[in-house]
Amino acid sequence: MAHIRAFEAIRPVRSKVHLVATRPYYSYKKNVLKAKLEDNPYTFLHIINPEFGAQIKTKPNSRARFFQVKQKFEQFKAAGILITDEHAHLYIYRQSKDGFVVSGFFAGVSVDDYLTGKIKKHEQTLTAREDVFTSYLDVVGFNAEPVLLTYEGQKPIQAILDTYLLTRSEYEFTTTDRITHEVWVLNPTDAAYICSAFEKVPALYIADGHHRCASSARYTQQLREKGASYPTAANFFLGYLVDENDVQIAAFHRLLRSTNGLDLKGLIAILSNEGTVETMASALLPEKKHDIHIYMDSTWLKFRPNLHFINDQDPVEQLDAFILSDLILKPIFGITDLKTTEQLEFLPGIEPIEKIIEYIDTKKFEVAFLLHPARISDIKKVADAGMNMPPKSTWVEPKLRSGLTIYSLTT
């Protein structure tokens, strides 16, 4: 059973929604972030970066900085840039680009479902990041960036979703990355029906946002440990719930800075002992699971490991990201920790293959390893087994905007 709740969203006034909603600040290059802050007084980035242009600044990730975030947030509300809905709703959000269309629900999602394992995870979180995010929530008291969660599709849920998508949306705008964003506000009756329908969903799976999920749980646990009463809203966090068949998953390719003197002929010789290696006539992304494509010295190779190297009883060891590390990166190049190594660069599979070629041809990197993307079934198997995927195993779409429907933890 999945427990979700309607909430009174704090959201942009309709005339300014296209100016307020933003990608997460860490996804912008510094010069682009600076330009957006200079040119757009309404962007939610001003809340996340409250001291932009100030001569004296607080320490990053400090409670003093978080108080500045809270203050700027209150200023946006006082100025009428952000408004608060009078009644609790669920919100449908649809994102469209180049034929990829995904629709789902913004909702409050149960912390207890996370703590009891009904929300499944496949990634290990870092305690230091959890500490920062928990402190942030304790000060600011809101979620602005949803956790992306998938569920096994249900006909009653889809029926309500499809009905609303035929009506006019509350918000509709297109951003400079050519993505169209639409939001619908469910009436209380339909919201209650959806909440009830989700109680028949056996589990939710985190697709993106493990640290936000873990931090929300820690924040709630800290409130409970204090023994005093606290708002019901704090038992939930902001989630975006999507049918598992609607998300898109790309691989993260690996670019190696140095082969430590190993040439192409030597690499082929080593790999030939681990599987089959063949030369490809042109650049091509892997079309099959367990195929690893390699680009080095203007040459494209297809490597397919011998099947006896693959443990078909272990969902992690079946992942191509694990196989690459286990058969190539670790024994050949000595890369044992993907989280700390400076030898690798991770490139999302949505990037054009020409970019990989340029990196290698210009000698910025010496060799590239291209992976076939994992499937949602692969992720679920790992999560159901209580295991963790290797770092940078998946790039998941959609990527969500901050500031569209803000979830208050204090009301």
pLDDT of residue 298: 97
Same domain, 77 and 161: yes
Residue 89: name the closest of 192, 16, 163 by CA: 192
395, 251 Cβ separation under 8 angstroms: yes
- Give the three-state DSSP class for 203: coil
Residue 146: name the closest of 408, 407, 326, 328 by CA: 407
pLDDT of residue 1: 87
Same domain, 230 and 337: no
Same domain, 234 and 288: no
What is the C-alpha separation between 48 and 299, in angstroms, rounded?
45
Backbone angles phi, psi at 266, to 5 degrees: -65, -40
Number of domains in the chain: 2
Burial class (CB in 10 A: 0-12, 13-18, 19+), 278: exposed
pLDDT of residue 314: 95
Same domain, 238 and 262: no
**Which tens digits make up the pLDDT trace of 281-304?**
999 999 999 999 999 999 999 999
Indicate which CATH number applies to the domain containing 197: 3.90.1530.10
Q: How wide is the angle at C-alpha 92 spanned by C-alphas 73 and 69, nearest 5°?
A: 10
pTM for the predicted model, two decimal places: 0.95
In the block, residue with structure tokens 């998953």 = 249
What is the C-alpha separation between 348 and 270, in angstroms, rounded?
27
Indicate which CATH number applies to the domain containing 385: 3.30.1760.10
Helices vs. strands in the chain: H and E counts, helices first: 14, 21
How many CB atoms sit inside 10 A of residue 359's CB? Answer: 18
Phi-psi map region of 297: left, alpha, beta (phi>0 left; psi -120 to 50 alpha)? left
In which domain, by residue range, is 258 found? 252-393
What is the C-alpha separation between 17 and 169, in angstroms, rounded?
13
Same domain, 89 and 10: yes
pLDDT of residue 53: 85
Burial class (CB in 10 A: 0-12, 13-18, 19+), 232: exposed
394, 373 Cβ separation under 8 angstroms: yes
Report the run of H or E that residue 184 belongs to, with start and end: strand 180-185
Same domain, 261 and 144: no
| DSSP label of 169 | P
245, 391 Cβ separation under 8 angstroms: no
How many CB atoms sit inside 10 A of residue 211's CB? Answer: 16
What is the C-alpha separation between 407 and 145, in angstroms, rounded?
9
Per-residue pLDDT 10s for the chain (411 aa) are 899 999 999 999 999 999 999 998 888 989 999 999 999 999 999 999 999 988 889 999 999 999 999 999 999 999 999 999 999 999 999 999 999 999 999 999 999 999 999 999 999 998 999 999 999 999 999 999 999 999 999 999 999 999 999 999 999 999 999 999 999 999 999 999 999 999 999 999 999 999 999 999 999 999 999 989 999 999 999 999 999 999 999 999 999 999 999 999 999 999 999 999 999 999 999 999 999 999 999 999 999 999 888 888 999 999 999 999 999 999 999 999 998 999 999 999 999 999 999 999 999 999 999 999 999 999 999 999 999 999 999 999 999 999 999 999 998
pLDDT of residue 24: 87
Return the bridge partners of 346, or none: 254
Same domain, 291 and 199: no
Same domain, 133 and 182: yes
Same domain, 98 and 193: yes
Same domain, 269 and 164: no
DSSP 119-168: EE--SPPPHHHHHHHHHHHHHH-EE-SPEEEEE---HHHHHHHHHHHTSP
Amino acid at position 179, single letter: I
Average pLDDT, the chain: 96
What is the C-alpha separation between 254 and 345, in angstroms, rounded?
6
Same domain, 88 and 178: yes
What is the C-alpha separation between 49 and 114, in angstroms, rounded?
30
Q: How wide is the angle at C-alpha 65 spanned by C-alphas 46 and 206, nearest 5°?
A: 75
Same domain, 85 and 212: yes
pLDDT of residue 110: 98
pLDDT of residue 243: 98
